[in-house]
Amino acid sequence: MQRQRIEHEPAYVLHTRPFGDTSLLLEVFTPQHGRCGLIAKGARAPKSRKRALLQVLQPLLLSWRTSGELGTLTAVEAASAPITLTGENLFCAWYANELLMKLLPRGAAHANLFIAYSTLLPRLPDDAEAGLRAFECALLDELGLGLGLDTEIEPAGHYVYVGSYGLRPAMPNEPGSCAGTSLIALRDDAPYTPEARQEVRLLLRSVLRGLLGGRALESAQLLRELRAMPAAAAKP
């Protein structure tokens, strides 16, 4: 593989884990190089300046050199202030990170999806549900398995999703069917009724579950457990 030097690429850290005695293995997401694995040498050392920056939710500018499957980080700087999320919103961000890690191959450019991810994070405190649905749609579009929301959708109709074919008309009581009004709200990123929220959530969950091939999402399970906790027990 030809060696490259990448300079000042916008990026987000998706996940980190220890590597060797003092280094970190990073999974990062960038617009021009997609998902990348990078070694941050010495980032866990007591006096390392990199460690404080290499955090999830911190917009970054990264420089690295490629050397096989993993690159070696050469420089890191903050692109802007970190995004502060807590509680369920933080789990939602972890959920988006897990989807990127499990469904994106390494090394492919994903400029539009990077914009969708960058838009999602600051949106989570205001409307996590709609933000996640928009991000999931962008991810499916990027993978070539979009719902086909650009086709004509009748508000009074019902539709089901059929693999790479996209949406097809369905009977109202057909399993997995979704109302046209719900799909239009999803397409236009418009306010949802409670029924529409439920329908599009189940639709996208079904499509993503098929792509994951039975692989569980830890963040989704943790979020369900958090929501199931009694209010008193959930308080710190």
Question: Tell me, what's the pLDDT at 199?
Answer: 93
pLDDT digits over 8-43, tens only? Answer: 999 999 999 999 999 999 999 999 999 999 999 999
What is the mean pLDDT of the segment spanning 199-214?
91
What topology is assigned to 5-78 in CATH? OB fold (Dihydrolipoamide Acetyltransferase, E2P) (2.40.50)
In terms of pLDDT, which residue wins out, 227 or 113?
113
Residues ≥6 apart with Cβ < 8 Å to 59 = 10, 12, 78, 79, 80, 82, 83, 118
CATH 1.20.1440.120 is held by the domain 87-234:
yes
Computed over every residue of the chain, the mean pLDDT equals 90
d(CA 79, CA 61): 6
Question: Tell me, what's the pLDDT at 231?
Answer: 52
**100 neighbors 35 (Cβ within 8 angstroms):** yes
What is the mean pLDDT of the segment spanning 67-95?
92
Closest to 76 in 3D by CA, of 107, 97, 48, 54: 54
Question: Tell me, what's the pLDDT at 2?
Answer: 64
**140 neighbors 147 (Cβ within 8 angstroms):** yes
What's the sign of the alpha-carbon dihedral 172, 174, 175, 180? Answer: negative
What confidence category does residue 230 fall into, taking pLDDT thresholds of 50, 70 and 90?
low
**10 neighbors 79 (Cβ within 8 angstroms):** yes
What is the mean pLDDT of the segment spanning 121-130?
94
What's the sign of the alpha-carbon dihedral 149, 150, 154, 159? Answer: negative
Question: Tell me, what's the pLDDT at 234?
Answer: 45
Question: Tell me, what's the pLDDT at 126?
Answer: 93
Question: Tell me, what's the pLDDT at 74?
Answer: 96
User: Is pTM beyond 0.85 here?
Assistant: yes
pLDDT digits over 126-183, tens only? Answer: 999 999 999 999 999 999 988 989 888 999 999 999 877 789 999 988 888 899 999 9
Domain ranges of the chain: 5-78, 87-234
Least confident of 18-22, 117-121, 219-223, 231-235: 231-235
